[in-house]
Amino acid sequence: MLLEVAGLKKSFGSIIVADDLGLAIAPGEAVGIIGPNGAGKTTLFNLIAGSISASAGSIRFDGRDLSGVPPQGRCRAGIGRTHQIPQPFEKLTVFENLLVGAVYGGRKAEHEATQSCGEILERLGLLKRANTLAGSLTLLERKRLEMARVLATEPKLLLLDEIAGGLTEGECAELVATIRDIRESGVAILWIEHVVHALLAVIDRLIVLNFGRKIAEGSPKEVMQRPDVHQIYIGIEA
């Protein structure tokens, strides 16, 4: 297994955001996570990416225990993460944003990184904007940059946090095509998404979280038909 999470616990005061969570992802696999707001989806990403630490439980990646490994170490190990609200380096150009990922996360020399960053920008349709300041990008472009920058670190596992939210149908379809393409290049994907139809177009397996617990897991079709999932998700499903 590429990622193995077992017995993960985390609470903020009296609010439990991760309660005995466990999941596993094989190399190259695409897994979706759904759940109502406050179910602990983003917290799970924060725990995996190392921006917060768990109260209990273990996270293993690529056969290595990640406890005590800081975010930069996890990135270098191959965990790439996008944020729900894009966090670009606004006063750097789009290209420089990617360079940060390639040079520090991907541990490349700058001249080596140039070529791969250019290719990623081309792949994500950002080439025209390469020398623009990231602060002047539109929402769609910011989301693409968020993904492009993580791809520059050459991750083995890509954590996508609601990347399709707020996009039009056409933009969303384009994004799905891009994510499929990334997946075909061998990168495993763990994707939190409220736009369920986008998710279902890519993933092999679906996990449902509620109140920090895993309440369902299986093939997307089966899971979506379960009455309890339906009940929790009614009114939210797109």
Interacting residues toward other proteins by CB under 8 A: 49, 51, 70-72, 75-76, 81, 83, 87-93, 95-96, 99-101, 103-107, 110-111, 114-115, 117-119, 121-123, 125, 127-128, 130-131, 149-150, 153, 174, 177-178, 180-181, 185
Q: Quote the least distance from Cβ 174 to other proteins, whole Å.
A: 8
Smaller CB distance to other proteins: residue 71 or 165?
Answer: 71
Long-range pairs for 213-220 at CB < 8 Å and ≥24 separation? 213/19, 213/20, 213/21, 214/21, 214/22, 214/23, 217/23, 220/32
CA separation for the pair 145, 194 (Å, rounded): 20
Smaller CB distance to other proteins: residue 152 or 229?
Answer: 152
CA separation for the pair 46, 127 (Å, rounded): 30
Q: Quote the least distance from Cβ 56 to other proteins, whole Å.
A: 23
Q: Quote the least distance from Cβ 20 to other proteins, whole Å.
A: 26
What would the two tokens of residue 162 be? 């609601």
Q: Quote the least distance from Cβ 89 to other proteins, whole Å.
A: 4
Q: Which of 76, 50, 43, 95 is nearest to 155 (CA)?
A: 76
Smaller CB distance to other proteins: residue 23 or 145?
Answer: 145
Count CA atoms within 13 Å of residue 56 on its CB side: 7
Instruction: Annotate 143-156 with b (16+ C-beta within 10 A) or e (fewer).
Output: bbbbbbbbbbbbbb
Are 181 and 123 within 8 A, CB to CB? Answer: yes
Smaller CB distance to other proteins: residue 88 or 212?
Answer: 88
Q: Quote the least distance from Cβ 79 to other proteins, whole Å.
A: 9
CA separation for the pair 222, 203 (Å, rounded): 13
Smaller CB distance to other proteins: residue 149 or 205?
Answer: 149
What would the two tokens of residue 55 be? 């109260």
Q: Quote the least distance from Cβ 64 to other proteins, whole Å.
A: 16
Smaller CB distance to other proteins: residue 150 or 223?
Answer: 150
